[in-house]
């Protein structure tokens, strides 16, 4: 798949209309989203979709005549939702965080459980769902029993009210709960930790749901150790920057850093991390390199690429990272990638850059390519 093909939106026809999808955007095809869309029973006038992905459940709700607010954090998914919203007038698409929604404003909340983002993020979503519902409103919850559905359903009952599982399809479940009593109080989302990286003591700030919350992952540390020579004054691009595990240490060493990141909570986390450490840097909410200007190029590109979308192994995104790295590395510049040993990036790097070498191996591998001048 080319980078151009990765960025291309595709319209998918459904009985209730159509929606747009693309590689890297969660929610289609996805059995949890699909089962929820086929199972839920629309009620009332206003609905909230707290994990819409590309909008399959919200399409069903709009067809039933409800006004639907869709709160999404992924830039890849938002690109799809924004395209569909031009055709589905009942939708209101917004980039945001679950706890920012209007309290007691909705008759129905839909939540395909984002279990792959961790229990802290799921809890924030469940609290947000309870607070968003009107008294007597209903939460439709969907998930996979292999990924903690029963535990999260129990937690939802404690936060929302009485509920029952209404559909079972293999490992997949859909439950409906009714808001009873007062909503739970909001809980603090921000977390902070300190770490010494490349001899520099830094404070990292992050919201729940980000990769490697609470500690710098060993793969990122290995990549930083593999960098060769000083970076001061060099333009560095971090593809998939997270909360700044790579970008903040490089900025402290004097690099001019740009971080691009698909997830809005990670963008906010990286911005706060840079600010808290008195560092300069640019953080962009971006589907791979989509937010960068045409022709924008860097001396060094670094990445610890994701290979999961919605909990599934999807290598299209990781390949797009490598292709974007080639496009964004200046002639004579270098590209550093860290990955699990079983992921075979070497042929793609060889095909694009014409070279690669293995710089480090220690549980993970660091691969380096240089773009010919």
Range of the domain at 210: 191-370
Instruction: Give the chain's end-to-end CA distance (angstroms, integer).
Output: 25
Q: What pLDDT is stored for residue 309 in this prediction?
A: 56
- Does residue 161 fall inside a structural domain? yes
Same domain, 136 and 222: no
pLDDT greater at residue 134 or residue 228? 134
Here the CATH number for the domain that contains residue 61 is 3.40.50.150
Query: How many domains, the chain?
Result: 2
Q: Which two tokens stand for residue 354?
A: 């014409």
Same domain, 134 and 198: no
Rounded Cα distance between 239 and 258, Å, is 9
Same domain, 160 and 233: no
- pLDDT exceeds cutoff 80 at 308: no
Same domain, 164 and 293: no
- Does residue 172 fall inside a structural domain? yes
Q: What pLDDT is stored for residue 311 in this prediction?
A: 52
Mean pLDDT in residue range 23-49: 97
- Average pLDDT along the chain: 97
- Does residue 121 fall inside a structural domain? yes
The angle, 0 to 180 degrees and rounded to 10, between the axes of the packed helices 56-63 and 31-39 is 10
CB 301 within 8 A of CB 371: no
Closest C-alpha among 133, 137, 109 to residue 183: 133
The kind and range of the H/E element at 354 are none
Mean pLDDT in residue range 73-83: 99
Same domain, 168 and 26: yes
Same domain, 282 and 154: no
pLDDT tens digits for range 248-266? 999 999 999 999 999 999 9
Q: Sorting pLDDT into bands at 50, 70 and 90, what band is 314?
A: low
Among residues 139, 157, 178, which one ends one of the domains?
A: 178
Mean pLDDT in residue range 40-50: 98
Q: What pLDDT is stored for residue 306 in this prediction?
A: 86
Same domain, 212 and 270: yes
Among residues 178, 200, 222, which one ends one of the domains?
A: 178
- Does residue 183 fall inside a structural domain? no
- pLDDT exceeds cutoff 70 at 14: yes
pLDDT above 90 as % of the chain: 95
Q: Which two tokens stand for residue 35?
A: 């089962």
Same domain, 160 and 198: no
- Does residue 33 fall inside a structural domain? yes
Q: What pLDDT is stored for residue 252 in this prediction?
A: 98
Instruction: Write out the DSSP string of 34-77.
Output: HHHHHH----SSEEEESS-TTTHHHHHHHHTT-EEEEEE-BHHH
- pLDDT exceeds cutoff 60 at 310: no
Q: Which two tokens stand for residue 167?
A: 């559909």
Rounded Cα distance between 43 and 33, Å, is 19
- Does residue 151 fall inside a structural domain? yes
Rounded to the nearest 10 degrees, how much is the dihedral formed by the CA atoms of 336, 282, 293, 320? 40
Residue 229 burial (10 A CB sphere; 0-12, 13-18, 19+): exposed
Among residues 126, 155, 178, which one ends one of the domains?
A: 178
Same domain, 243 and 331: yes
pLDDT tens digits for range 339-350? 999 999 999 999
Same domain, 244 and 355: yes
Closest C-alpha among 315, 317, 255 to residue 286: 317
- Does residue 230 fall inside a structural domain? yes
Same domain, 92 and 159: yes
Same domain, 65 and 124: yes
Q: What pLDDT is stored for residue 312 in this prediction?
A: 56
pLDDT tens digits for range 164-197? 999 999 999 999 999 999 999 999 999 999 999 9
Q: What pLDDT is stored for residue 346 in this prediction?
A: 97
- Does residue 185 fall inside a structural domain? no
- pLDDT exceeds cutoff 60 at 155: yes
Q: What pLDDT is stored for residue 307 in this prediction?
A: 72
């Amino acid at each position: 798949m080319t980078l151009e093909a990765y960025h291309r939106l595709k319209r998918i026809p459904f009985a209730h209309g159509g929606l747009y999808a693309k590689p890297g955007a969660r929610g289609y095809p996805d059995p949890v989203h699909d089962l929820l869309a086929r199972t839920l029973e629309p009620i009332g006038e206003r609905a909230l979709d707290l994990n819409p992905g590309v909008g399959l459940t919200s399409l069903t709700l709009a067809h039933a005549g409800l006004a639907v607010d869709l709160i999404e954090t992924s830039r890849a998914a938002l690109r799809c939702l924004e395209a569909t919203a031009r055709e589905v007038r009942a939708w209101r698409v917004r980039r945001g965080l679950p706890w920012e929604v209007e309290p007691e404003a909705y008759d129905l909340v839909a939540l395909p459980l984002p279990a792959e983002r961790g229990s802290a993020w799921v809890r924030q979503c469940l609290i947000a769902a309870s607070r968003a519902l009107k008294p007597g409103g209903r939460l439709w919850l969907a998930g996979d029993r292999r990924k903690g559905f029963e535990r999260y359903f129990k937690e939802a009952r404690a936060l929302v009210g009485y509920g029952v599982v209404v559909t079972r399809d293999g490992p997949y479940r859909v439950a409906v709960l009714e808001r009873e009593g007062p909503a739970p109080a909001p809980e603090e989302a921000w977390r902070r930790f300190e770490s010494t990286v490349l001899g520099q003591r830094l404070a990292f700030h992050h919201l729940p749901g980000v990769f490697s919350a609470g500690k710098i992952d060993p793969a990122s540390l290995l990549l930083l150790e593999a960098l060769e020579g000083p970076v001061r004054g060099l333009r560095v691009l971090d593809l998939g920057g997270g909360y700044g595990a790579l970008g903040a240490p490089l900025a402290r060493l004097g690099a001019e850093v740009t971080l691009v990141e698909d997830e809005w909570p990670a963008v906010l986390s990286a911005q706060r991390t840079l600010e808290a450490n008195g560092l300069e840097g640019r953080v962009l909410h971006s589907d791979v390199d989509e937010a960068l200007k045409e022709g924008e190029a860097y001396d060094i590109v670094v990445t610890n690429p994701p290979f999961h979308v919605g909990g599934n192994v999807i290598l299209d995104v990781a390949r797009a990272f490598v292709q974007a790295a080639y496009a964004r590395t200046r002639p004579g510049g270098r590209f550093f990638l860290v990955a699990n040993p079983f992921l075979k990036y070497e042929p793609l790097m060889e095909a694009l850059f014409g070279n690669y070498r293995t710089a480090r191996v220690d549980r993970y591998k660091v691969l380096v390519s240089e773009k010919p001048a």
